[in-house]
Chains A and B, each alone.
Chain A
């Protein structure tokens, strides 16, 4: 059985040590996980992806499928959520990174590091068009309200931008925000005009106003800010930083950092669940760290779930289908095992009326 032994021995050892420190009488500190009585997510399924080589980059979801870019395999893997199996594989995309799905246009968008966004039919996965982006295309976000795909693109001072594609016509629009540095993760506000963009090279978060076209920025003190997630109802932005490894929380009204907690090393994805008031942070160190949002300014690390070294790519899209609440983690092939997507069942924060037996 490879699965459990494929679990990061390092992470397990780390947990074991943590346990032992407890036995040695070390007082628990605030950063140690609380009692693991109710783990925040449980591994309940795996989907093998035989033959997929190399590193994964990002997930997207739509129409009962999850889409996963195989950066090292030049492919996009398409998994049917309910069948629990790979439904299709799109090959021949050089170094795919971001993926986005438009239900309105029934199209899949795939960003290539090599300078194009590839557009596919959402049913047949036939290639419909490509759109060029100087300096490569990375993260993609879809805005259902305007039917536009926002593209993080560029690799230098001049060409770095957030640009847009009209999902219906497959053409670039004139909506474009020059950034002066390569964008990493960004998020679109649904109830407001702003786009928040991590620009680690400039040590800032840029705020783009889609109505006024004004660009402002907030400095970051924790550097290498890559992943990002939004909590719109509490006006918070969560940013994963790598130097040092933190989850940093910003107030969108003021741009001030209101909280910063140590997190797993080498993050590239980060998710917030408004329903559960939890932040999920997978890291390539080989763990998913989970935080409880006590209030908009206070967070507690509640769990470190051991995974596999290198597994930094995850997808979380809230409830789907018959109310299933799943968290997807991409695990790359090793010398002894093939790639797979691990599917965790996300648990409720506070089980209602649970007896203690």
Chain B
């Protein structure tokens, strides 16, 4: 009998640790993220790629790579309000330009960046890159959009002016496809993950100089986040799965912690001094920054298999909402899960 009881208990443990189940388990009162809303995004098939958040308007824009669409979700009302289908071929990212109320959508298939009025959703312009336009970042102070594009020798970060939608200057050639990159706000640098060669390129926008840091111990680095206050660069490596903390001035590895598997997005929460990493294995890993050099994983929040992409931009309305894209599964359509961050 004891054996059977033990077996039963072990089974319960196994079941409760199965990631995707947890959404219907009782809330863990100490969890750093609490699921507060599930917004259906009906009719959307395939993989979600990266999202943008309109903080003042309470909208989330999601590039649906597998559906050739951009879905616009009104987070206050909890409904999808628009599906933009303007000839995208494998759209990979949306970025929101708050000062101009525009969105830019990058596509892998034709290397285009399509610029839309975010009020009327009318296509305003197209900025064309050679191939595989992927990550986008907006620098509101200079009104410039940075675009990671291309494969192999073609790979670069390009720049275009957000008012004229014209390319500016020469592109920063990288030699390997740029994955996530971050613009330094209080300095001239751009940090770029070169996942295929496990390097970080450090671009000086003023001096037009590019340094390279070779990652040690872990690579295939896709997501990235920046903590400029403490001069720290966070990178989620996939092989092996690690969170790496680097000194953003020297490239020195400050910390390395076990990471989530199959990560595609990470966010830095400067208010709570936390890092959120979302992964295809169905967890959000949450790390606490104790001080600039010390980090601790404080949560492993079960989500859903394949929920790799997410966005967090701090306070939206009265909420500190963290958005997670959950692709369609058997018998259940695609959804946007909304979490509240919590102390």
- Is A85 in contact with B45, judged by CB distance below 8 angstroms? yes
Q: Does B1 contact A (CB under 8 A)?
A: no
Contacts of A4 in B (CB 8 A): 15, 18-21
Besides the contacts A7-B18, A82-B90, what 6 more A-B pairs have beta carbons closer than 8 Å?
Answer: A4-B21, A5-B21, A44-B305, A82-B65, A340-B330, A357-B258
Q: Is A314 an interface residue (CB 8 A)?
A: no
What is the chain A residue whose CB lies nearest that of B16?
A4
Q: Does A347 make an interface contact (CB < 8 A)?
A: yes
Task: Enumerate 14 A-B pairs (CB-CB under 8 Å) in ascending A order.
Answer: A12-B11, A16-B7, A16-B11, A19-B10, A42-B261, A43-B281, A44-B305, A46-B306, A50-B330, A82-B66, A84-B306, A85-B66, A331-B330, A348-B239
A83-B65, A337-B331, A353-B216 known; A5-B3 Cβ under 8 A: no
Smallest beta-carbon distance B303→chain A, Å: 11
User: Do B305 and A46 touch across chains, with their CB atoms under 8 A apart?
Assistant: yes
Minimum C-beta distance from A171 to chain B (A): 36
Among A4, A86, A354: residue with most chain B CB under 10 A: A4
- Any A CB within 8 A of the CB of B23: yes
In the complex, what residue of chain A is closest to B11 when comparing beta carbons?
Answer: A16
A235 CA to B96 CA in the complex, in Å? 56
Q: Of B6, B220, B239, which one neighbours A20 at CB under 8 angstroms?
A: B6
Nearest CB of chain B from residue A46's CB, rounded to whole Å: 5
Beta-carbon contact of B329 and A46 below 8 Å: yes
Does chain A have a CB within 8 A of B327?
A: yes
Chain A residue nearest to B14 in the complex (CB):
A12
Residues in chain B within 8 A of chain A (CB atoms)? 3, 6-8, 10-11, 14-15, 18-21, 23-24, 45-47, 65-67, 90, 177, 195-196, 216-218, 220, 239-240, 242, 256-258, 261-262, 279-282, 304-306, 308, 327-332
- Is A3 close to B, CB under 8 A? yes
Complex contact A3–B305 (CB within 8 A): yes
Q: How many A-B residue pairs have CB under 8 A?
A: 147
Known A2-B331, A43-B281, A340-B330; contact A20-B10, beta-carbon cutoff 8 A:
yes
* Contacting residues, chain A, for B220 (C-beta < 8 A): 323
Binary B-proximity of A39-71 (CB < 8 A = 1, otherwise 0): 000111110111000000000000000000000
The residue from A2, A42, A80, A84 contacting B330, defined by CB atoms under 8 A apart: A2
Shortest beta-carbon distance, A271 to chain B, in Å?
Answer: 20
When distances are taken between beta carbons in the complex, the residues of chain B under 8 Å from A48 are 45, 328-331
**In the assembled complex, how far is the CB of residue B126 from the closest CB belonging to chain A, in whole angstroms?**
22
Is the beta-carbon distance between B20 and A83 smaller than 8 angstroms?
no
Q: How far is the CB of B27 from chain A (nearest CB, A)?
A: 15
Chain B residues in 8 Å Cβ range of A24: 3
Give the residues in chain B near A86, CB-CB below 8 Å. 45
Q: Is the Cβ of A83 less than 8 Å from the Cβ of B305? A: no
Chain B residues near A83: list those with CB within 8 A: 46-47, 65-67, 90
Q: How far is the CB of A348 from chain B (nearest CB, A)?
A: 6
Q: How far is the CA of A345 from the CA of B280 in the complex (A)?
A: 9
Known: A44-B262, A45-B280. A20 touches B21 (CB 8 A): no
Shortest A345–chain B CB gap in Å is 5
Binary flags per residue of A1-43, CB closer than 8 Å to B gives 1, else 0: 1111101010011011101100110000000000000100011
Once the chains bind, are B47 and A44 in contact (CB under 8 Å)?
no
- In the complex, the answer to whether B14 meets A345 with C-beta atoms within 8 Å is no
The answer, yes or no, to whether A352 is at the interface (CB within 8 Å) is yes
- Residues on the A chain within 8 Å of B217, using CB: 352-355
CB distance from A297 to the nearest CB of B (A): 29
Q: A83-B47, A84-B47 are in contact. Are A45 and B11 (CB under 8 A)?
A: no
**Complex interface: chain B residues within 8 A of A20 (CB):** 3, 6-7, 10
Q: Quick check: A12 and B281 within 8 Å, CB to CB?
A: no
Q: How far is the CB of A18 from chain B (nearest CB, A)?
A: 9
Q: Do B46 and A84 touch across chains, with their CB atoms under 8 A apart?
A: yes
Residue of B nearest to A339 (CB): B330
Closest Cβ–Cβ distance, residue B93 to chain A (whole Å) = 15
Q: How far is A17 from B262 in the complex, measured between Cα atoms in Å?
A: 30
Q: Please, how many angstroms separate the alpha-carbon atoms of A352 and B238 in the complex? A: 12
CB distance from B25 to the nearest CB of A (A): 10
CA distance A347 to B220 in the complex (A): 12
Q: A4-B15, A45-B305 are in contact. Are A17 and B66 (CB under 8 A)?
A: no
A50 to B331, CA, bound (A): 8
Report the minimal beta-carbon distance from A17 to chain B, rounded to whole angstroms: 5
Residue A234 at the chain B interface, CB threshold 8 Å: no
| Bound Cα distance A82, B308 (Å) | 13
Q: Are B281 and A44 in contact (CB under 8 A)?
A: yes
User: Given the complex, which residues of B lie within 8 Å of A82, measured CB to CB?
Assistant: 47, 65-66, 90
Which residues of the other chain, B, contact A85 by a CB distance below 8 angstroms?
45-47, 66-67
Contact of A323 among B7, B10, B14, B196 (CB under 8 A): B196
Cβ contacts under 8 Å, B282 to chain A: 43-44
Tell me which residues across on chain A come within 8 A of B261, comparing CB atoms.
42, 44, 345, 347
| CB of B169 to closest CB in A, whole Å | 28
When chains A and B are docked, how far (Å) is the Cα of A45 from the Cα of B46? Answer: 10
Chain A residues closer than 8 Å to B18, beta-carbon distance: 4, 7
- For A342, the closest partner residue in chain B by CB is B305
Report the minimal beta-carbon distance from B302 to chain A, rounded to whole angstroms.
9
Q: What is the distance, in angstroms, from B228's C-beta to the closest C-beta of chain A?
A: 26
Chain A min CB distance to B133 (Å): 15
CB <8 Å contact, A1 and B258: no
Q: Which residues of the other chain, B, contact A7 by a CB distance below 8 angstroms?
A: 18
Interface centre among B10, B177, B257 (most CB of A within 10 A): B10
Residue of B nearest to A48 (CB): B330
Report whether B280 and A44 are in contact in the complex, using a CB–CB cutoff of 8 Å.
yes
Please state if A340 and B258 are interface contacts (CB–CB under 8 Å).
Answer: no
